[in-house]
Every structure is written in C-alpha cells, then in structure tokens.
Copies of this chain bind each other. A is one copy, B any other.
C-alpha cells in the first residue's frame, strides 16, 4: 500500500487524471511482451521533465520503486514494476519538438512512437534507422532503453548509433544533459551511450536528440535457397564482404521453412533447407549493381537457386507469415535473441538441433543473419515444461558463449535474462556496472532488481 502522504503530495504536482491508483486502472500497466504480470500501485503520466523530477524526488523521499515505461512492447520484462511502487509511463510525452532538416537532427519526447518519428522525418527526405518489428507501437524512449535494432541494423546499426544526446533525470531527481547537437563531439564521458540500453535503471530519458539519415532513393531485393545451413552461412559471410552490402539480410532455418510450408505449401520451394531474404537500397543503378554482386556472393555448391525480386512485398512475404504461425502452434513459446559471429551460425544451428533432440523441445530459428542475431524460438509451454525449458535455455546460452556470442542482440536483459548475465559478464566488470548504477541511483529506486543477477 502506498502511504497516503505520498498520494497527497503527488497530487500537488500531478493532476489526478494523470495519476492512477485504482488497481483496475493500474492493471493495464502490469504486463509487457514477456507475459509476466506485476501490477504497479500507482501509474503516473508526466508531461514534462520537471514533473519527472518531482515524481522521482517524491519516490526518493518515500523510498518507493519507480519503473519507467514506454509502450510496454519489450520482451525481457524491463518495464515491469516487479517490486511494485510506481509505473512511470512516458506515453503522454509525445511532442516532436523540432525537425531540423539542415542539420539532420530531430528532438523528440520519449513517448513519440518510432513510426511517428519516421512520419515526421520523411517529408524532409530522412528516416531514423532503428526499426524494431514493434515500430508501429513502440516508443522512442523504449527504443533507447533497449538500444533496439531490427532488420536494417546490418547496414545502419542500432539505436545507439543514431542518438546524439538526451536529457534525463537520475535516481536523485537531478536533470542531466548528455551528448551534443552535432555528429561529432568528445567533451567528457559518453553518457549518451551509457544510458542507451540501460533499461531505465540509471535515469529516466525525457528528451532525445536523434540523428537522421537520408532516405535511400529506392529498394530492391533477392532471395536465395540452400541445401544446408553451412552453405547458407558461407553465403552470409561472402555477402558481408561485398564492398556495398545489403540493407537487410534475414535468415530462415529448415524449421521456419517447414512451418511456413505447413500452411502455405506453394510459397516456398520444396527442396530448400535454409533461406536468405536480402534487401538492398540506393539509386536504381546502385541497386542493379549491388543485386548482381550479391547474387554472385550467394553462389556456392550448396546453393539451390537465387533470384532478384521485383516486388519487395514478395521478399518479406514468407518472413511475415512466421510470427502468427509460431503463435498458433506455441502461444507461450520462448523467444530468445542471441547473437553469434556470422561464421558460427552453422555450428549454432547444429547445436540447437542437438539440444532440441536432447530435451525433446522443437525449435525454430530465424533472424538478422548479417549481424549473427538469431531469434531462437523454443516451441514450448513454459507453464508445463518449465524445468526442461530452463535447462535447455541454459545449455543454449552456454553454447552461444562458447561460440564467442552474446545473450541478447536487441531485447535486453530485464528480468528474463538476469540469471544468465554472469555467463557473459565477468565479476569485475559487473562490479563496475553496479558502481555506475550506484552513482546514478544511490537509493536503488529506478527499476530496482532489473539487469543485475
């Protein structure tokens, strides 16, 4: 129960229609895409940086946890108020403050949707490269909190490559400004990228200065089908060595292809065991040239066939079937987003296949091959098979680390992976991270318990 004095003082700063305390209202802020449920005791909707300061100071005074929240599309539980207290929803801070086309900079509040950023940039001939599949309904603040990526990261990088600076409020209610307004700047420590991907554990971002990128003139695509994952991975390596690479390079394994075939037998060639969907962008000339080069890079003895696609919708058609099909057959599937070096993809896939047999758990794997970022889907109901799923997951993570990979490419740690973080991060390195947490949030009120084991 929240102290009555907290609510009373809160209402001096925030009007009642922007502070929910009714459990029914609060429940809508209890979950995210991790499917865990932790209801907050109060949901607050600030409109300004100063209101965020007031809320945090108040939480500090009453020693209440504050969990910042974008649009709750994360899959790692990062935005869940696990220890109760306050859900600080930034969703009403939706102003695009400025679009400065001359300098390729946009300033936005954290609640602006990724899609709204793109809409504001497009008339000026720009876009903002981070493109998580949730772009239509995830917010910039959430994109920053996880350093969100997506298919185009292979060419353009992830969120941390496209933010010049932020305004943020620390766990003691101090306003800090990080970074600068220009594309170069080396004054002081890089706090911008320290905050990006910190999952709301260090500070609440209340404004972001985004770096925009010119829209490509056009896009083209090609697909390639392989006899086996090893020859497919060989092609991925060759593609990534081309002097002009792809703007997206997505991979589907045999399990993914079988799943699509089960519903759409006509969509895919019967003999394919591994598929690449490749997008290129640039001028019409460049696209023609790049498609030719990448088709050449696709050639190896394991290639069944490769061809350019005229229609980009065709290119992505198979990929788009996957998520609904996966939900149909395994509504509570475990979706991981591990990363391995590109040339380790075949070893990873062989290992996943072995673990699938060992634990009698089907898996389906696809993802952003150019970055080695593979979505491993365990087709399991964790409510029934929790112990088996956990052991399998543990072995998958061990495999990934043994291949010099990382536990998460874009989803983050949140609560879902904190038990595993010590597989990847050494004790001494983790101690430094905890020390940094202490500097930003000495009372441990900001998203407490997240990220650390």
Please give the residue numbers on chain A whose beta carbons come within 8 Å of chain B beta carbons, in ascending order.
100-105, 124-125, 146-147, 149, 153-154, 157-158, 160-161, 170, 174-178, 180-191, 193-194, 196-198, 202, 214-217, 237, 240-245, 282-283, 285-286, 289, 339-343, 368, 371-373, 404-413, 417, 421, 424-426, 428-433, 435-436, 438-440, 451
In Å, the complex CA distance between A431 and B412 comes to: 28
Q: With a CB–CB cut-off of 8 A, which chain B residues contact A100?
A: 341
In Å, the complex CA distance between A48 and B300 comes to: 42
Residue with the highest number of chain B CB atoms closer than 10 Å, among A174, A421, A439: A439
Contact of A340 (CB < 8 Å), options: B182, B189, B439: B182
9 A-B pairs with C-beta separation under 8 A: A100-B341, A184-B368, A184-B373, A187-B406, A187-B421, A190-B197, A190-B198, A244-B283, A244-B286
Contact of A413 (CB < 8 Å), options: B105, B178, B188, B241: B188
**B289 & A430 in contact (Cβ 8 Å cutoff):** no
Q: With a CB–CB cut-off of 8 A, which chain B residues contact A202?
A: 189
**A429 & B214 in contact (Cβ 8 Å cutoff):** no
Contact of A433 (CB < 8 Å), options: B101, B184, B189, B407: B189
Q: With a CB–CB cut-off of 8 A, which chain B residues contact A241?
A: 101, 104, 124-125, 214
For the complex with contacts A187-B421, A282-B286, 11 further pairs of A-B residues with Cβ separation under 8 Å are A102-B237, A105-B341, A176-B429, A181-B405, A181-B406, A182-B371, A182-B406, A187-B413, A194-B194, A214-B242, A285-B289
Given the known inter-chain contacts A214-B245, A243-B214, A289-B283, please indicate yes or no for A189 contacting B182, CB distance below 8 A: no
**A103 & B243 in contact (Cβ 8 Å cutoff):** no
In Å, the complex CA distance between A101 and B25 comes to: 54
Q: With a CB–CB cut-off of 8 A, which chain B residues contact A191?
A: 194, 429, 432-433
Residue with the highest number of chain B CB atoms closer than 10 Å, among A104, A189, A282, A408: A189
Number of identical protomers? 2
Identify the closest chain B residue to A438 (Cβ).
B439
**A197 & B193 in contact (Cβ 8 Å cutoff):** no
Q: With a CB–CB cut-off of 8 A, which chain B residues contact A372?
A: 103, 182-184
Given the known inter-chain contacts A181-B404, A243-B215, please indicate yes or no for A189 contacting B436, CB distance below 8 A: yes
Name the distance in Å between A135's Cβ and chain B's nearest Cβ. Answer: 17
**A157 & B161 in contact (Cβ 8 Å cutoff):** yes
**A282 & B368 in contact (Cβ 8 Å cutoff):** no
In Å, the complex CA distance between A170 and B428 comes to: 10
**A160 & B237 in contact (Cβ 8 Å cutoff):** no
**B183 & A371 in contact (Cβ 8 Å cutoff):** yes
Closest 7 CB pairs of A and B: A435-B439, A184-B409, A102-B343, A193-B193, A185-B406, A180-B406, A103-B341
In Å, the complex CA distance between A183 and B197 comes to: 15
Identify the closest chain B residue to A409 (Cβ).
B184
Given the known inter-chain contacts A216-B243, A405-B181, please indicate yes or no for A176 contacting B436, CB distance below 8 A: no
Residue with the highest number of chain B CB atoms closer than 10 Å, among A185, A242, A245: A185
Contact of A193 (CB < 8 Å), options: B194, B282, B289, B406: B194
Q: With a CB–CB cut-off of 8 A, which chain B residues contact A410?
A: 184, 186
Q: With a CB–CB cut-off of 8 A, which chain B residues contact A187?
A: 406-408, 413, 417, 421, 424-425
Q: With a CB–CB cut-off of 8 A, which chain B residues contact A432?
A: 170, 174, 176, 191, 439-440
